Amino acid sequence: MNLQRAFEFLAGLLFGLGLMLAGMTDPSKVLAFLDLAGAWDPSLALVMGGGIAVGLGAFTVAKGRSKTLLGTALFLPQATVIDRRLLGGSALFGVGWGLAGFCPGPALVSLGLGDAKVWVFVAAMVAGMLVFEWLESRAHRALSQGV
């Protein structure tokens, strides 16, 4: 295993540990954050705040570099467009998040936390991603055929 793979493993491990420590892997806590009109648990605002506090420094450094610390290619997103696709997709994601209390990362980590219901959510999420691929390839075909 090369050094970069080891660090990628470590980043995944840390990310999972952070999600559990933060309380993000408990859907009832996530929903308590999203329930502004009920007994509101503001904890998750601090999760995002903590993440961004570190991230701001890291991405400021990253923007000034063309290579990683290991000398490999560094990819920063180039898209800046704010369109219906971005907003519509995000809106659907928020509805799903509000229904179950799971977003993708915590759902994957929770696979190891022993509730069979998590597998149902993750299977449906993967199915949703495959539906997107299917719709995309159909749209591309239609476009190339001039339909």
Site for another protein in 66-105 (CB under 8 A): 67-70, 72-77, 79-82, 85-105
Q: CA dist 137 to 85, 125, 140, 143, 144, Å? A: 16, 19, 5, 10, 10
Helix (H, G, I), strand (E, B) or coil at 73: strand
Instruction: Give the nearer residue to another protein in terms of CB position, either 18 or 146.
Output: 18
Instruction: Give the nearer residue to another protein in terms of CB position, either 17 or 144.
Output: 17
Binding positions for another protein, 111-140, rule CB under 8 A: 111-115, 117-118, 120-133
Instruction: Give the nearer residue to another protein in terms of CB position, either 82 or 147.
Output: 82
Residue 8 makes contact with another protein by CB under 8 A = yes
The rounded radius of gyration (Å) of the Cα atoms in the chain is 19
Residue 54 makes contact with another protein by CB under 8 A = yes
Answer positive or negative: Cα dihedral of 96, 99, 102, 108. Answer: negative
Least CB distance to another protein at residue 47 (A): 4
Residue 142 makes contact with another protein by CB under 8 A = no
Least CB distance to another protein at residue 71 (A): 10
The pair of structure tokens assigned to 110 is 């929770």
Which residue, among 106, 121, 91, 88, has the nearest Cα to 25 in the 3D structure? Answer: 106
Least CB distance to another protein at residue 146 (A): 24
Between CA 109 and CA 118 the distance in angstroms is: 9
Binding mask 20-39 toward another protein (x if CB under 8 A, else -) reads: xxxxxxxxxx-xx-xxxxxx
| Residue 121 DSSP label | H
